A and B are shown apart, each in its own frame.
Chain A
Amino acid sequence: MNTTSNASASHDEPLVELPPAAPLTASARGLRERVVEGMLAPCGLVSLVMTAGLVVTLLVEAMRFFGDVSPLAFFGQFEWAPRVQNQRFGVWPLVSGSLLTSAVGMAVAAPAGLLAAIYLGEFASPRSRRWLKPALEVLAGVPTIVFGYVALLVVTPALQSVMADLSGFNALSAGLVIGIMLTPMIFSTSADAISAVPDDVREAAFALGADRLTTIFRVVLPAASRGIGAALLLAFGRALGETVVVAIAAGHQARLTADPTVPIETMTGYVLQVASSGVPARTLEYQTIFAVGSLLFLITLVINVLAHRLRRRLRAGVTEVS
């Protein structure tokens, strides 16, 4: 109190002695900024070079593989048996395994995450909003190895008590647990999309006589649809790439099936299994993991690009409105 009254009483004298104004052509500062810039640029380049190197390694080894096995066999056959005498390299059983666990996961995560986001955005009080979002997002920090053993040791036995013919390794348990893992991701991204819908739009709907539910499902969700679509796509890409849970709980039997109760093998599960089993480099079996990895990389790349474009158009849409 005293200081402010003193300051206003004698405001001719400056409170703090500032350094004298520097000449406009201060070259020392320019040099320092150039040095910092020169040191930071390589740091940015490192990640770029690593990514490029990764893609090149992946593609080179995959090319080697396709030198021995025709892409026609890879994509045209429906049996994956790289280790038996009569080798078969039809990749579809692995793809179907990945799709199956991801589909089960999305069947859990999409409704759960979306409903949670709707609740948070439209119904929760500001006070519960403050702890609800971080609480759900903490789930995303649980190590996947924990989720994997939950699937194998908790979910599968629980399911077996009601489904007698469920195998010990199966796509269902793995998928369910992946769903739990993905829920916070879908929740968080779609909650952001829902809260990005301006309140004006909700008010307009209320003023026209729409009730709360109608407003949410006919006005707010369509307005947030691109963001929600992006959230679902990113989560799906993440589900396809999930490794540890499926390696632990889904089994290692590549088979082309839509039955989630039997053991299967996913693309990621196969790569992990081969990579950790000490297969010598330069063998055909070693190269298979690069072929499978390249395919997985391609699929998730396409999904991420789609999601990115959805989000970019979402931003463009929002600026149009405001």
Chain B
Amino acid sequence: MGDASDVVARRALGPISSPVAASEVEAPHPERRARNLDRDEGLSTAKLTVNALTAWFDDQQVLTDIAMEIPAEGVTAVIGPSGCGKSTFIRILNRMFEMKRGARLEGRITLDGEDIYARDVDPVQLRRRVGMVFQRPNPFPAMSVRDNVLAGLRLTGKVRQVKGGDGALERLVRQSLESAALWDDVKSRLDAPGGQLSSGQQQRLCIARAIAMEPEVLLMDEPCSALDPMATARIEDLIHALKARYTIVIVTHNIQQAARVSDRTAFFLQGELVEYGPTDRLFTAPRDPRTEDYVTGKFG
């Protein structure tokens, strides 16, 4: 972490709404790359790269100098105690972060090599490629199951661009619900309000809603924290099934869950990325004592 004057100087760059700040960051420092996954730890081409990311809510620094590469394949888990900045981190990946008042950041985040905070990037287009599932199931209460699945297309006006009319939309609804392992539960009540499903079903409906947009990356912000163990198990099975098709980044406060579902784990603590590596290695042979304390349950 920089000293006080350093922070003041960075702050002077202003909020991300003036995108100059984001694109004028200096080139990544070689040492920062060192914190990424080792090349021998099975890293292929990165889907998302994060460099020199520092973020604030008003005057409070919530992330400090994060550098991280997220490969296209498999599941990346982000773990850490409450308030460590893990949710903030994944919200930066689809630019949901900037919707909050007082939020600003510096750094360079790329999706397939493209700077997602560049001046000409439309957050709407970005969010179409980077879908998100939230902590609490949040289907649209006034919409039917079917309309919830199609909500992304409808709300962005893309529904008119779908070729094949209603038949194609029905196929998309079915495909998405099948992918979310929800079709058999709801096929007879597609017109019922989404709010009438159980909370586990609601969360799978939210996953169906996200994948109906055919995203490349699926961000999951503690997707099971409001669910019972049975519903959690179904979501975890679903994550295994979906990881072949999507780059999945899951935030969880549940260490066992990270161990079960992820291929790589990033451990955040007080806004810093402490350690990032293959899940097996990070849980069995952590390199940082703080990681060890956390994964063995000494705090958190």
Interface on A for B, CB 8 Å cutoff?
125-126, 197-198, 200-201, 203-211, 214-215, 218-219, 222-223, 225, 317-318, 320-322
Determine whether the beta carbon of B154 is less than 8 Å from that of A218.
Answer: yes
- B206: Cβ under 8 A from any A Cβ: yes
Output the nearest chain B residue to A203 by Cβ-Cβ distance: B134
The verdict on A317 contacting B141 (CB below 8 Å), with A209-B127, A209-B152, A210-B155 known, is yes
Interface residues on B, range: 20 to 34
Question: Which chain A residues border B81 with CB–CB below 8 Å?
Answer: none
Supposing A203-B134, A317-B195 touch, asked if A208 and B141 sit within 8 A by C-beta, the answer is no
In the complex, are the beta carbons of A207 and B127 less than 8 A apart? yes
Residues of B within 8 Å of A126, CB to CB, are 101
Smallest CB-CB separation from B142: which chain A residue?
Answer: A222
8 Å CB contact of A210 from B135, B143, B156: B156
Top 4 nearest A-B pairs (CB, nearest first) are A222-B142, A200-B138, A210-B155, A208-B152
Cross-chain contact A219 with B140 (CB below 8 angstroms): yes
**Given A317-B195, A320-B195, A321-B141 in contact, is the A206-B136 Cβ separation under 8 Å?**
no
Q: Does any Cβ of A come within 8 Å of B94's Cβ?
A: yes
Of the listed residues A198, A208, A322, the one surrounded by the most CB atoms of chain B closer than 10 A to its CB is: A208
For residue B154, which residues in chain A have a CB less than 8 angstroms away from its CB? 218
The chain A residue sitting closest to B219, CB to CB, is A207
Whether the pair B142, A225 counts as a contact (CB closer than 8 A) is: yes
Q: Is the CB of B142 within 8 A of A223?
A: yes
Main secondary structure of the interface of A (DSSP, over half): helix
In the complex, chain B residues whose CB is within 8 Å of the CB of A207: 94, 96, 127, 131-132, 134, 210
Indicate whether B128 reaches chain A with its CB closer than 8 angstroms.
yes
B101-139 CB mask vs A (1 if < 8 Å, else 0) is 100000000000000000000011101100110111011
User: Is B209 close to A, CB under 8 A?
Assistant: yes
Cβ-defined partner of B96 (8 Å) among A206, A215, A222, A223: A206
Residue pairs across A and B with CB atoms within 8 Å: the count is 86
**Can you give 13 contacting A-B residue pairs, CB < 8 Å?**
A204-B140, A204-B209, A207-B210, A208-B156, A208-B209, A209-B155, A209-B156, A214-B156, A218-B155, A219-B140, A225-B142, A317-B141, A320-B196
Given contacts A209-B152, A320-B195, contact A204 B141 (CB under 8 A): no
Q: How far is the CB of A310 from chain B (nearest CB, A)?
A: 14
A211 to B204, CA, bound (A): 24
- Closest A residue to B140 by beta carbon equals A219
Residues on the A chain within 8 Å of B151, using CB: 204-205, 208, 219
Return A196 CB to nearest CB of chain B, in Å: 11
Distance in angstroms between the alpha carbons of A206 and B143 in the assembled complex:
16
Contacts of B142 in A (CB 8 A): 219, 222-223, 225
Partner of B127, one of A197, A200, A206, A218: A206
Residues in chain A near residue B180, CB distance under 8 A: none
Q: Which of chain B's residues has its CB closest to A205's CB? A: B155
- Which residues on the A side are within 8 Å of B123 (C-beta)? 209
Q: Is B213 an interface residue (CB 8 A)?
A: yes
Given contacts A200-B135, A321-B139, 17 further A-B contacts (CB under 8 A): A198-B136, A198-B138, A203-B99, A203-B134, A204-B138, A204-B140, A206-B96, A208-B209, A209-B125, A209-B155, A209-B213, A211-B124, A214-B155, A219-B142, A317-B141, A318-B141, A321-B195
